Amino acid sequence: MTYNVSPVGFIHSCFKEKFAIPRQPHLAPAARGVLELVAPFDQGDAVQGLEQVSHVWLLFLFHQALEKKPRLKVRPPRLGGNKSMGVFATRATHRPNGIGQSVVKLERVEAARLWISGIDLLDGTPVLDIKPYVPYADIIGTASNSIASAAPEPVPVQWAPPALHQARDHAMRLQEPLVELIEQCLAQDPRPAYQVPTAEREYGAQFWDVDVRWHYPRLGLIRVLEVIPAKQ
C-alpha cells in the first residue's frame, strides 16, 4: 500500500552541502534558515497562533538520501561509521520513507515564512509537516538512550588570524553569526571518525555563500585556514 505526501514548504538553509551539518538540531544554535511555505499554506491562516510557540517539530524528507531499497541495518557516523545497527535504533538519513524530524527554534513567524535556528537541515529540504513543541508531553525526564547518551564532546577550534578577519567581514555582509556558526559546526568534528587526518590534509565545506577550509594540526584540534567566497 502506498500513500502520497506533498511538502508544505522548503528550507532555505545556511547549509549548502551535507558535509559539516551537525548531526542533530541545537548543536549549532547559530545555524539559521527560513522555511518558505507553499500554497495553500502561505496565506497566514495555517500559521495563526504559532507566534505563541518557541519551538516546532519539523517533519521532513531527507531528499538527498532517498533510496529505492530500504536498508535494515545502517552504520551511524556517531558510532564511528564501522558498527552496524538496526535502522530503527538510529537517526540515520538512509531509512524507510526517508523521513527526518528536528525540533528547531522559531525566531519569527510571517504569513509565508518561518525564521528558524538551531537547524540540522540541508538547503532545499522539503518539509512535510510542522507541529508545535509541547514541553509537558515532549520532555521525558526519565528517558535514556545508551547508544547516544550525551552530545559529543566539542573539539577546540582555532583560527588562523586572516581567516577570522575574513569570517568577520562575511558575517557583516551576510548579517549572520558566521563566526559562531563555523565554530559550532566544526566543534562537532565533521570528519568521518574512521579517517585519521594528517596535519597537511585540508577539509572544506560551504556555509551560506562562503567556503570554509580547515585542517587538524593534531587529532582533537581544528584550525580554520580560510573563509572565502564559494565558487558559483
Choice between 119 and 167, CB closer to ligand SAM: 119
Which positions touch ligand SAM (CB under 6 A)? 18, 21, 23-25, 62-65, 91, 93, 100-102, 120-122, 125
Contacts of 37 (CB under 8 A, 6+ apart): 8, 9, 46, 47, 111, 112, 113, 114
Choice between 95 and 159, CB closer to ligand SAM: 95
Contacts of 82 (CB under 8 A, 6+ apart): 75, 194
Supply the minimum distance, in Å, between the C-beta of residue 161 and ligand SAM: 29
Choice between 18 and 173, CB closer to ligand SAM: 18
CB atoms within 10 A of CB 12: 16
Supply the minimum distance, in Å, between the C-beta of residue 93 and ligand SAM: 4
Under 8 Å between Cβ of 183 and 220: no
Supply the minimum distance, in Å, between the C-beta of residue 23 and ligand SAM: 5
| Cell 566539542, residue located | 154
Supply the minimum distance, in Å, between the C-beta of residue 111 and ligand SAM: 24
